[in-house]
Amino acid sequence: MTAALVARTRAFVRDAVMPAEPPAGVGLGADARAALQEQARQAGVFAPLGPAGLGGQGLPLREWSPVLQEAGYSVIGPAVLNCMAPDEGNMHLLERIGSPLQHERYLAPLVAGRFRSCFAMTEPHPGAGSDPAALATTARRVTGGWVIDGEKRFISGADEADVAIVMARTPELGEAAASLFLVPLSADGVVVGHAIRTLETAIAGGHPHVSFESCFVPDVDVLGAPGEAFRHVQVRLGPARLTHCMRWLGLARRAHDTALDRVRSRELFGQPLGELGIAQAQLADSEIDLATASATIDWAVEALERDPREGANASSIAKVHCSEAVSRVIDRAMQLCGGDGVTLELPLLAFANEVRPFRVYDGSSETHRWAIARRAVKRRARDREGGAPALDIPEGGR
C-alpha cells in the first residue's frame, strides 16, 4: 500500500501541484488550494495521515516519511494533500485522545479538508514559548465548563482556522496542572489579532496573536483528561517535529535535484561544472546530509513507537539535525547555481526562506540541544549508579 501511495503522490505532485505553484514568496490562495485538493482526492492521495474510517489514507507512523517527503517536494504540496502543519498534528492528537463526539465535530471535517485548525500554546514573553512550563493563560472552572483568559502569539494558521486547540493552566486541578480545550474561533471572547510577518509562506493562515477574554468552553470540549495537558501534548509534539523534518527534507531533495541538473548542463573552465572537484565536494556533502537526515527520521520514528520517553529525545535529535541539514543542502544548491541561485528565477531563494524558521519553530535548535545534553548527563548518572565504571581520568593522569 505505501509503495503505491508514494508513487501516486510523487506523480501527482510533479504533474498537478508543481505547475500550479504561485510565484516565490506568495502563498497559495484558498480557491486554488480547494481546487487542487479536489484533484488530490480524485487521485487517491488526499489526507495520507488521516484515519481511514474518516476518509484519510490511514498510514501508520512508520510509513509517513516517504509519503511526506514526496508531498514536500513542492512548497504547496503538503497543504494540497492535507498533511501540513498545524492541521496534520492536530488530526493526530484528536485521533489519539479525542472523544467520539470530538471526532465527529472536529476530526472528521479536518480530515475531509472542510475545516482548518490551529494549536494555541505559544504566548507573549514571559509566557510559554520554548518552555511550556511558563504557561500563563488560565482556565477556571464554572458551571458546565471552563472560562479561558489569556493571550497567545505566533499561532500558526489562526487567520484561516475554524477551531483552536488551546493549552491553558488549570490551577484548581494542581499547581502545575494544565488542560487542552477545543475552542471555535467564532466563540465569544476570542479575538484573532495582529498577524506576525515571517519569512515563509507555506503555512496558510499566518502566525497571528489570539486573545481569550472570559471565553466559555463547555465540558464536552475539553480535549483529553482535565489537568493532563503536559502529558497529552507529547502525543502531538514528537510526531509533529518529525513530520516537519519529512516535509522539509522533500523540499531539500528538490533543491539538490535542481543543483544536479545545473552542474550537468553548465560548463566552466572548459569542463562540466559537475566534474570540478570543488562542486563535487558540495554535491557529496548534500548527499550525505540527505541520507543521514532520512536515516535519523526513521530511527526517531522507531524510538517513538517503542517508548514515548525515548522517542522524545530521539525526535529532538532528529529535529536539530534535519532542520540544519536541509538548510545546508538548499544553501549549497543556491551556491552551485551561481547568480541564478540567489534570484527569483529559480525557487531556491524561496526554499531557503521556507526552511530557515524551522530552526526556531517547534523548539529552537538551542533549546533541543539543552534538553538533549541534560538527558545524556542523567543517562550516564543512571549508568554509573547501575555499576558502570568511571571513565574520567583522575587528577594527575596515569
CATH topology of domain 117-227: Butyryl-CoA Dehydrogenase, subunit A; domain 2 (2.40.110)
Could you tell me what percent of the chain has a pLDDT over 90? Answer: 83
Is pLDDT above 60 for 314? yes
398: pLDDT confidence band, cut at 50, 70 and 90? low
Q: Cell match 500554546: residue?
A: 121
Spatial distance between the Cα atoms of 332 and 142, rounded to a whole number of angstroms: 57
Please return the burial class of 285, using the count of CB atoms within 10 Å of its CB with bins 0-12, 13-18 and 19+: middle
Spatial distance between the Cα atoms of 358 and 353, rounded to a whole number of angstroms: 10
Find the mean pLDDT for residues 317-341: 97
pLDDT number for residue 28 = 85
To the nearest whole number, what is the mean pLDDT of the chain? 94
Spatial distance between the Cα atoms of 118 and 164, rounded to a whole number of angstroms: 5
pLDDT number for residue 340 = 93
27: pLDDT confidence band, cut at 50, 70 and 90? confident
pLDDT number for residue 269 = 79
CATH topology of domain 2-84: Butyryl-Coa Dehydrogenase, subunit A; domain 1 (1.10.540)
202: pLDDT confidence band, cut at 50, 70 and 90? confident
Q: Where are the beta strands (DSSP E) in 110-207?
A: 117-120, 138-142, 145-152, 163-169, 178-184, 190-195
Give the model confidence (pLDDT) of 47-82 as tens digits: 999 999 999 999 999 999 999 999 999 999 999 999
Give the homologous superfamily in CATH for domain 230-385: Butyryl-CoA Dehydrogenase, subunit A, domain 3 (1.20.140.10)
Is pLDDT above 80 for 296? yes
pLDDT number for residue 394 = 66
397: pLDDT confidence band, cut at 50, 70 and 90? low
Is pLDDT above 70 for 396? no
pLDDT number for residue 350 = 93
Give the model confidence (pLDDT) of 214-223 as tens digits: 999 999 999 9
181: pLDDT confidence band, cut at 50, 70 and 90? very high
Find the mean pLDDT for residues 200-217: 93
Are 253 and 245 within 8 A, CB to CB?
no
Is pLDDT above 80 for 141? yes
276: pLDDT confidence band, cut at 50, 70 and 90? confident
Domain ranges of the chain: 2-84, 117-227, 230-385
C-alpha cell at 271: 569542463
C-alpha cell at 62: 512508520
Q: How many distinct helices (H) and strands (E) make up the chain? A: 13, 10
Give the model confidence (pLDDT) of 372-392 as tens digits: 999 999 999 999 899 888 887
Please state, as a whole number, how many other Cβ atoms lie within 10 Å of the Cβ of residue 289. 22
pLDDT number for residue 25 = 72
